Structure 1
Amino acid sequence: MPREIRTILCPLNLRHAAHAHPAYGEALRLARWHGAEVIAATVAPEMERNLNIRDAEGFWTAKLKEFLKNNPAGDVAVRPVVRKGSVHRQIVKLAEDEKTDMIVMEAANPRIQDYLLGTTASHVATHAPCTVMVVR
């Protein structure tokens, strides 16, 4: 019997906000189909590369709200969440904490170090407590 999908986690890399986010569109489509809520999440780094950013969580919260305003969800309930820390670990932890039914995330273009260390998507797919859909 298919599992019920009530909550979909969609991690967003807002450092690339100018680019398309096909995973977000897919998460909204699936949420509409299943009557689910989308958790739109971004992860702030422990230490910002840009030292002009004094309040990382506040900065990324504003960026996430701006993204959601520019990409309206229509009739889908979207809840913004900002975490701080290691991206791959925080995505898995958020999925566990929120008991999400599915994660819909984008694949990054791998670089050589990704083959040696593993990409965020592969770590999440390996460690997540739920179904993971990786969108190209």
Structure 2
Amino acid sequence: MLQSVNESLLDFIKTNIPGDIGAEACIAEGSVYSAILKTANKMNSDLIIIGSHRPTMGDFLLGPNAARVVRHAECSVLVVRN
């Protein structure tokens, strides 16, 4: 299943991101924000692009993944709403 997701992601990048932009994709497992932060550090990323949604009551108590990534990332983070 991960292979299929990775292939779909690579197809999306080829179709939607110009070739002169050094975009890379990585599929990871684990806690969402932790996996994103570890992968970004491992890949020496310059930018993390992450989607966000309207917070629910649970998000206020636990903190949404996007907010955790923004707070703890060592590189810039672009948050895309909806």
Superposition TM-score, scaled by structure 2 size: 0.75
5+ long unaligned stretches in structure 1 = 1-55
5+ long unaligned stretches in structure 2 = none
1:92–1:128: 8 Å Cα contact kept in structure 2?
Answer: yes
The answer on 1:76 being equivalent to 2:15 is no
- Quick check: which has more Rg, 1 or 2? 1
2:37–2:69: 8 Å Cα contact kept in structure 1?
Answer: yes
Backbone CA RMSD of aligned residues: 2.0
1:66 aligned partner, one-letter code: D
The total of aligned residue pairs comes to 81
**Residue 78 to residue 101, structure 1, CA distance change in 2 (3 Å):** closer
Deviation at 1:61? 0.8
**Residue 108 to residue 79, structure 1, CA distance change in 2 (3 Å):** same
The percent of aligned pairs where both chains have the same amino acid is 35
Question: Larger strand proportion, structure 1 or 2?
Answer: 1
- Structure 1 CA distance for aligned equivalents of residues 77 and 22 of structure 2: 20
